[in-house]
Structure formats: structure tokens, C-alpha cells
Amino acid sequence: MPVRTDLLSVTLASAMTLLFGCADKPGSVPEVPAEEITTSVPELSAVHEFMQPLWHDAFPARDFERIRELVPEFEPALTALDGVELPGILQDKEEAWNQGKVVLANAFEGLKAAADAGNEEEMLGYAEAFHMSYEGLVRIIRPPLPELEAVHQHLYGLYHYYGPGYDLEKIREAATEMAALIPDLQAAELPSRLSDHQDHFEMAVTTLGETIGALMATLDDPSKEAVTAAIEAVHAAYAEIDGIFTNGSHG
């Protein structure tokens, strides 16, 4: 009987592990897939192939025949764009992206109707609106600052993969990489439209650096609760900086 009891205990322990995992022990989490941390959307770039001759050639030349020729050429690219699923690192942009696609589609339908009707002034007006809405989509996914995006790529893996999986080795690697990028981020200057927020930006970057340092300190004698809290603090500090770019009046 003792043997059977021991066997039962081992079996139950194994079943518990299968059901719940070793939540309090570091795991081995896979690397973040490269396609999840890219900010490029090839389908949007494909639209530019036709936008370039429309906006830079036909529009300024008031070449209405060329505009009419270009309109149907956009349709396959726009259909492909409509079905795009943003990479994981851009998921927080999804709401703005979807709204932007609606604006783009509406402007294109207006351009198409004006071209079919031969209404030249409306063709020009909708061509301008179409180009502006395209540029709006580009701005949504374009990294606001290369130095910040470099940090974000490591933070994405930390926050969505390594932290939840409690992989201490990868958490330490991500924190170390981010810490090394802070001096470049501190030296960065905001675009002129956001120059009034430079002081806020610099203070927020300092806070981000401090939270990364605090995360690294928790790893000297880690507990899951402390490490998780430290990762949340890093994420919140990054969000403070990102907010400067997303609304221009943050803080």
C-alpha cells in the first residue's frame, strides 16, 4: 500500500504540473517571432506604387485622363490592405488603423465616382483627400522616434512573452538591452511639432531608465511578484513617453 500511495502522489503531482505548469519557476520561453516586432506593412507600401504617379505626376499636372487610368489600378492593392492584420507590436494602433482605413476607403470611393462622372474639380479634391488619408495611415504605423522604437522592440518581448512566461534569463537580457539604449533615447530631440514637450520627454525617459534599473535589481534576488511588478512599472513608464506622441498634449 505505501508503494501505491507514493505512486498516487507522484501521479497527482505530475497531473498538477500538466494542468497548471510550474508558475513559480523560470520557464523557457521562445524568442519573439521577427514578424511580430516589425512595424512595416508591405500592403501599405504597395499602395504607394500607384500613389506616387497619382500625387506627384497626374495631380499637379491636372492630367485627368491619367487620374482616371490610375483609379482601377488601386483596387487590388486596397483590397489587400483591407485584409491586413497588423503585427503584434502595432496592435495598440489597431483602432486608429481601422478608422484610418475607413477614411481611405471613403476618399477612394469619392475619387472613383468623380472619375466615372468626369467631374474634374471633384477628382482633384478627392485625390487630395485620398493622398492625405494614405499619409495618415503611414503616420499611424511609423515609429515616432527610432530611439524609442528600439526600446519598444525589446519591451514587446519582455511584456508579452518573457514576463508572462517568467523566463528570468530572457527578462534579464531584455532589461539589459533596454538599459543600453537609454542614453541614445535621452539624447534624442522631439520633432519640431512636439518641441514644447521636450522637458516632459526627458523626464519621462529618466523615469523609464530608473524603472529598468529597478527591474534589473529585482533579478538579483527574484520573486515572481516583484519581477512582475517591476515589468509593469517599465511598461507604464514607456506608455508615458508614447503618450507624448499619440496625443501631443499628454501630461
Count of residues in the chain: 251
Q: Report domain extents, the chain.
A: 42-141, 144-247
Contacts of 210 (CB under 8 A, 6+ apart): 237
Q: Quick one: pLDDT at residue 139?
A: 84
Q: Report how far residue 210's alpha carbon sits from residue 208's, in angstroms, rounded to the nearest whole number.
A: 5
Class of domain 144-247 as given by CATH? mainly alpha
Using one digit for the tens of pLDDT, what is the confidence trace for 174-202?
A: 999 999 999 999 999 998 989 999 999 99
The model carries a pTM of 0.71
Asked if the domains at 42-141 and 144-247 fall in one CATH topology, the answer is yes
87: left (phi over 0), alpha (psi -120 to 50) or beta: beta
The one-letter code for the residue type at 107 is A
Using one digit for the tens of pLDDT, what is the confidence trace for 10-20?
A: 333 333 333 33
Q: Quick one: pLDDT at residue 247?
A: 64
Best CATH choice for the domain 42-141 from the list 1.20.1630, 3.30.70, 1.10.472, 1.20.120: 1.20.120
pLDDT tens, N- to C-terminus, the chain (251 residues): 344 444 434 333 333 333 333 444 555 777 877 888 877 889 999 999 999 999 999 999 999 999 999 999 999 999 999 998 888 888 888 898 999 999 999 999 999 999 999 999 999 999 999 999 999 898 888 877 999 999 999 999 999 999 999 999 999 999 999 999 999 999 999 989 899 999 999 999 999 999 999 999 999 999 999 999 999 999 999 999 998 987 654 33
Q: Quick one: pLDDT at residue 164?
A: 93
> In the block, which residue shows the cell 488601386?
74
